[in-house]
Amino acid sequence: MKSEESALVLFSGGQDSTTCLFWAKKEFKEVRTVGFNYGQRHNYEVEVAKTIAKIADVPFELITIDILSKTIDNSLTNLAIEVQPKPENALPNTFVPGRNLILLTYASILARSFGIKHIVTGISQTDFSGYPDCREKFVKSAQKTINLALETDIEIHTPLMFKNKEVIWQLSDELGVFDLVRHNTLTCYNGIMADGCGKCPSCLLRNNGLTRYLKKREKLLRQKG
Ligand code: ZN
């Protein structure tokens, strides 16, 4: 049953957060979105997010945070550094230290001001590239700290936490937004919409999941006759 309450979705216009947005629309009576401009590789991302929010008919708030772009050793905020595949025993150079903690904190402050108790984020530890702030234990800990700090009762929902990309594609299909997610989102580190450049780590993950899901989908359709 749909909750009578409202939710705030952390929204970047990528595959995961777009799927989360439509998941939230199904689960909650009212949904708002918040996007962040933190000096990420492609500012275009914000425009994509705005467009999808309009299609989904939900308000979109943009928060600018410039501290993250000052962490100069990562390839997401420093264009001079090329995105590299994850080294075996180290974090990939797309890791932005502190990102999820800062974004969840800002989102919670905004949620509090709207009287919203539910936050939805696409954080997933399944394909998490080793990012420490994508783990469930981090989210649980952040929720606790944020509630202590803001005197709130906020619940952070992570519907994708244990889903791989194939299952996330399936979820978008079940939510009726498979085509929207496929054609209108931006996940590629090189800033190319939809199926992307096909070569960066983000595209590889997304497209491998898509290929697997399309096979599964075909099989399911055949079984249905
Ligand atoms: Zn790409």
Q: What is the CATH number of the domain that holds 111?
A: 3.40.50.620
Determine, yes or no, domain membership for 89: yes
Ligand 1 centroid to Cα of residue 208, in Å, is 12
Four-CA torsion 212, 214, 218, 220, nearest 10 degrees: 70
Given a contact cutoff of 8 angstroms between Cβ atoms, the answer to whether 17 and 184 are in contact is: no
Statement: the pTM of the whole predicted model exceeds 0.75: yes
pLDDT-derived band at 87, boundaries 50, 70, 90: confident
For residue range 131-146, list pLDDT tens digits in order: 899 999 999 999 999 9
Percent share of the chain, pLDDT over 70: 93
Establish if 175 belongs to a structural domain.
no
Is 207 inside a domain boundary? no
- Compute, in angstroms, the gap from residue 83 CA to the centroid of ligand 1: 10
CA dist 160 and 127 (Å) reads 10
Q: Is residue 218 part of a domain?
A: no
Q: Is there a domain that residue 169 lies in?
A: no
Do the domain assignments include residue 190? no
Question: Mean pLDDT throughout 151-176?
Answer: 97
Q: Any residues with CB less than 8 A from the CB of 182 and at least 6 apart, and which?
A: 194, 195, 210
The alpha carbon of 45 and the centre of ligand 1 are apart by a number of angstroms equal to: 13
CA 27 to centroid of ligand 1, rounded, Å: 31
Instruction: Tell whether the torsion through CA atoms of 71, 14, 126 and 205 is positive or negative.
Output: negative
Residue 138's φ and ψ, nearest 5 degrees, are -65, -45
Q: What is the pLDDT of the chain when averaged over all its residues?
A: 91
For residue 197, tell me if it sits in a domain: no
Q: Is residue 58 part of a domain?
A: yes
What is the distance in A from the centroid of ligand 1 to the CA of 118?
Answer: 31
pLDDT tens sequence across 10-59: 999 999 999 999 999 999 999 999 999 987 766 788 999 999 999 999 99
Total domains present in the chain: 1
Q: What pLDDT score does 72 carry?
A: 62
Which residue range forms the structural domain that includes residue 18? 3-164
